Structure 1
């Protein structure tokens, strides 16, 4: 049973926004400030990050338009390079995505637990109960159908946008809480420090590339995918610049360096003692949106792998009525729940996610050069083609490799572990293919 397109351009735009806006914008600005010696470098990092991310969004918009298919992030690698390379990249990303979802869900539960749980459950056990319950509720919603998932995502995303706008209103209050003490966090090496600040910035901007996994779900995909990606990432850039301006106006650069609960601080400026409860609820909703969109997106990668015979055929089974990959969805949620049982030991995994992403995204962007050559017949059919090609993808790829090198210099051990994980994926692929040949040989 193949997947039938049911999602509109608005649905995909909301998905783009939710894939990008997770918890990062409420924590990463402090890390960026620690690597920035002045406001110009701070805002320069966010502006450059937004501009480069827009270049990436335009690149992936054309990739999605030229090759619209379910599980596109896997299929594009397979089509342009080799199935082995596609599996090597995607198997690590799927694992890291499950770990990220588990960790973010845990953070959301930690925010909401003191607000709604009884005193006896305001502990690690209560947090685990809240986290698992939230994931299971979203699993049930997603199991009911792709349209139900999309409607839930639209509501959560609009709520999240409203949350950011409310927090930004703190800039109009007179209660400035700038820190007086100056602490020099930034690195003496300007280029290195700027590169490290971009790590946090790109982590906050990442996620939009997963929209090409919905190529088979989108109505009129060749037109709607590029437009949804462009409008989605443009909205994110505007919201990020707005909330960073609010952070800086209220806290100053030194206050940003010393604060970790940025959103809570701004909410306190607005609402006083009630600010903590309000921002806890809003943070929890933001987490639900991030978890839900990942539950929607990741099973589509399994579908693509199953089509290529790398995963069992059960992963590509789609319910005719709901358009849900029931087994693939259940498998991903089960992975998240298993990771939650060991969430404490999985926190360090998140420090490796950005290294995976920079390699995966920059390599995926390279596929546009191959796609342009392989899909020349589409050039005069009204398909989306980015302006200023090849400058746009070159800017994106070059900047991401600059960030990759910065991570490697700062943390070579993490980089080595990530490289070994990629190699392990390659080995697993060839073992799987050899086993299939042995099984089918008479």
Structure 2
């Protein structure tokens, strides 16, 4: 049973917003402030990151328009390069995506546990319990059908946007102007290239996620028209929200305190809501986590579908329920990986460089595929598909900057990056093994 298009432009816009806005914006500004050490550079990095990410969003919009298939992120790498390379990128992305969902669920559990659990369960076990229950509830919703899961996603995303708007309103409550413009002395001299690369790692993590929209190429009605519009509208909302909330952090908390304050959302809520701010923002942050986890449960099984369609993974993973349009087996496998990671994952910060290493390599590779895809799909020009402006300059800018960040990750932590790269290379023999097993099975 093939996947039928059921998602409109509003659904896709909400998917883009929910894919990008997770918990990053409530944590990574601290990392960016520490690396930049100056409020002017801090805001410049966020603006640069937004511009580069928009270039990527427009690039992926054209890729999705030219190649509207389920599991498009895997399919485009296989189609333009080689199925082996597509598998190597995607098998690690699926693992890192599951790990990211698990880690973000744990962060959300830390916020909501004081509201839900007694003091005796204010520990790691209690947090994992909340995370497991949240994933299982979302799993049940998604098993009921993509239409219901998309509707729940729209509601969660709208609540998430409202939460961020409320946090931004804290700027009107005053703040600490005495240290708002402070520039902290650096402990060791850093050149601007290092600062630029190191600060863009958390910025791109916060802006990342929109690339998964190409996995919905076969789910979107009229993809040639709706795909670029949904991506652009969603990203416009994201950029405005990110710049506004960072300005609110700067005005209310002050730049010096921003470098040392991890509970950014709680501080902002306290400034605006008063003593009840912590409970209010804890609930809203947990809702944000549910939205992030839900959209990943919708998106990632599409990559399983694409790999199974190419005979790399077992055919059962592309099985679609004819009534609900749900990949029940693939969804179950992805949820199982998340639940396993919940019992072994460390902290969100430790995962960051691993996740970003695969993201930068994969995103740069997929974006560069547009150069090949345009040649292979020349027959589609003039048929109403989306063609980005200023091609190839915007795509080239995106690829170069992301490769620069990849190099910087190795400079920052070469041991962790080497482990990640080794796991990536290990995907090649795994691909060959899976091909051989499936060939024998056939």
Q: TM-score, normalised by structure 1?
A: 0.96
**3-state SS of paired residue (1:380):** coil
Residue of 299, 310, 313 corresponding to 2:312: 310
2:155 corresponds to:
155
Partner deviation per Cα, 1:290-324 (whole Å, 9 max, x = no partner): 00000110000000000001111110000001000
Runs of 4+ deviating beyond 6 Å? none
Q: Comparing 55-64 with 230-239, which one deviates more in the overlay? A: 230-239
2:190 corresponds to:
188
**3-state SS of paired residue (2:149):** helix
How far did residue 46 of structure 1 move? 0.2
Q: Tell me if structure 2 keeps the 8 A contact 1:173–1:270.
A: yes
1:166 corresponds to:
166
How far did residue 279 of structure 1 move? 1.2
How far did residue 16 of structure 1 move? 0.3
2:378 corresponds to:
376
How far did residue 179 of structure 1 move? 4.8
Q: Tell me if structure 1 keeps the 8 A contact 2:353–2:409.
A: no
How far did residue 183 of structure 1 move? 4.4
How far did residue 417 of structure 1 move? 1.3
2:365 corresponds to:
363
Partner deviation per Cα, 1:7-58 (whole Å, 9 max, x = no partner): 1111011000000001000010010000113221101100000000000000
Q: Decide whether aligned partners of structure 1 residues 166 and 313 sit closer, same or farther in structure 2, where only a CA change above 3 A counts.
A: same
Alignment partners' CA distance in 2, 1:99 and 1:346: 9
How far did residue 119 of structure 1 move? 2.9
**Is residue 89 from structure 1 mapped to residue 62 from structure 2 by the alignment?**
no
1:135 corresponds to:
135
How far did residue 177 of structure 1 move? 6.9
Q: Comparing 183-192 with 83-92, which one deviates more in the overlay? A: 183-192
Alignment partners' CA distance in 1, 2:87 and 2:232: 28
**3-state SS of paired residue (1:344):** coil
**3-state SS of paired residue (2:259):** helix
**3-state SS of paired residue (1:318):** coil
Q: Decide whether aligned partners of structure 1 residues 166 and 347 sit closer, same or farther in structure 2, where only a CA change above 3 A counts.
A: closer
Q: Comparing 376-385 with 249-258, which one deviates more in the overlay? A: 249-258
Residue of 337, 341, 344 corresponding to 1:339: 341
Q: Decide whether aligned partners of structure 1 residues 197 and 136 sit closer, same or farther in structure 2, where only a CA change above 3 A counts.
A: same
**Is residue 271 from structure 1 mapped to residue 240 from structure 2 by the alignment?**
no
Q: Comparing 416-425 with 12-21, which one deviates more in the overlay? A: 416-425
Alignment partners' CA distance in 2, 1:271 and 1:364: 44
Q: TM-score, normalised by structure 2?
A: 0.96
Q: Tell me if structure 1 keeps the 8 A contact 2:317–2:330.
A: yes
1:410 corresponds to:
412
Q: Comparing 411-420 with 6-15, which one deviates more in the overlay? A: 411-420
1:233 corresponds to:
235
Alignment partners' CA distance in 2, 1:436 and 1:175: 62
Equivalent residues in 2 for 1:82-121, closer than 5 Å: 82-121=82-121
Alignment partners' CA distance in 1, 2:114 and 2:52: 39
1:294 corresponds to:
296
| Aligned-residue RMSD, C-alpha | 1.6
How far did residue 122 of structure 1 move? 2.4
- Aligned residue-pair number: 440
2:80 corresponds to:
80
Alignment partners' CA distance in 1, 2:219 and 2:288: 24
Alignment partners' CA distance in 2, 1:117 and 1:250: 30
Alignment partners' CA distance in 1, 2:57 and 2:178: 35
How far did residue 408 of structure 1 move? 1.1
Q: Tell me if structure 1 keeps the 8 A contact 2:220–2:226.
A: yes
How far did residue 274 of structure 1 move? 0.9
Q: Tell me if structure 2 keeps the 8 A contact 1:299–1:325.
A: yes
Alignment partners' CA distance in 1, 2:175 and 2:416: 42
Alignment partners' CA distance in 1, 2:179 and 2:40: 18
Alignment partners' CA distance in 1, 2:353 and 2:54: 24
1:242 corresponds to:
244
Q: Decide whether aligned partners of structure 1 residues 175 and 136 sit closer, same or farther in structure 2, where only a CA change above 3 A counts.
A: same
